[in-house]
Amino acid sequence: MMAKGKSSAVPVAAIVTLAAWGCGGGQKPVPALDPVDTNIRIERLDQDLFRAANDPGGNFSLKLYAHYGAFYKLYVEQVLQAAAYNDPRLPMALIQFTHDPDWSRLQQLADSMLGSMQEQEQGFNEAFGRLKAHFPDSLIPRIIAYNSGFNYGVLPTDSVLGFGVEWFVGKESPVVQYLSPEMFPQYRKDRMRPEMLVPSVVKGWLQVHYARDVRGEDLLANLVAVGKVMALLDALLPETDASLKFAFTPAQLKWCEENEFNIWRELVAKEQLYSKDPKVIDRLLNDGPFTPGMPRESPGHIGEWIGFRMVESYLRANPKVTFAELFAMHEPQAILKYYKPR
């Protein structure tokens, strides 16, 4: 079973945010398309498990597997690390999990804070409806909510997009504030709000299914790749605050706007743009309370914002380019030449 307070993978914001430009407000470089009807329903594995574990017959695990299929197997084996899906000891492990006072209290809090998730369900339908409008052949995932005990925030598979409800119960809740500060520093706790759910989860899907693999390539290629994802996320959730999409605070976003030219000048002056040094790339793209080497007012993973601004500049200059054409481009220099920060 999982260790309490352990975060074994995908951070929710990497995982995974009010601006007058592109992301979050103002005139968009790509007009918002009307969403295609997707009829998404959030399936509640979290609630089903906590209710079913009281089944005295002990066959609740088989019933859950019959309904949730391969994702249930992934959930009990990798997320909870409870037991193999067909192990006769699994029901007892799940009963222990659901009857643990900490996890049962956490589930009650999630039920209270998130309710029926109608608002989030509408957000998913709009986002994936627009994704379908931009990419008619795109797969609309089955969306499943679970309780991971703070192990996995967002879990995209080939056809399922799962997320942990406990990551969105409110940053002020006692259960969040009691989390180990070593594993869960305050900047991560501050993101554990209901309004972060839809942008964080949709972002996780795009990062897995739409971001080009640029391992081994230079910083510019990495910035453009992540910038395309953020531009697409902006088009899918045009009314969502940019700070939520970037997982920045409003103050951090304002700092980026006011210092865009200085950020860019530093990259150019230090000749880092074409560096393949993992330390250079990680400094700008890894999460953290701020970006190392920059003022503490800066956000972590600032490369997402710079990459977005680069791609946004390209889209403004080339309004007829579709997202399908944008993602088919593999030459970052074609994007770079349109970026002129001031």
Q: What is the pTM of this model?
A: 0.91
* 340: amino acid identity, one letter: K
Return the pLDDT at 7.
39
Return the pLDDT at 56.
65
**Three-state secondary structure of 233-264:** HHHHCCCCCHHHHHCCCHHHHHHHHHCHHHHH
- Tracing tokens 């295609």 back to the chain, one arrives at 36
**Residues ≥6 apart with Cβ < 8 Å to 208:** 156
Q: Mean pLDDT per 10-residue run, the chain (342 residues)? A: 42 35 57 91 97 80 96 97 94 94 93 95 98 96 97 97 97 89 94 97 98 96 98 97 97 96 92 95 96 96 97 96 96 96 88
Cross-strand pairs, 76: none
288-314 exposure pattern, b = at least 16 Cβ within 10 A, e = fewer: bebbeebeeebbbbbbbbbbbbbbbbb
How many CB atoms within 10 Å of residue 38? 17
CB 303 within 8 A of CB 309: no
Could you tell me which of 265, 235, 245, 137 has the C-alpha nearest to residue 200? 245
CB 68 within 8 A of CB 144: yes
Distance from chain centroid for Cα 39: 21
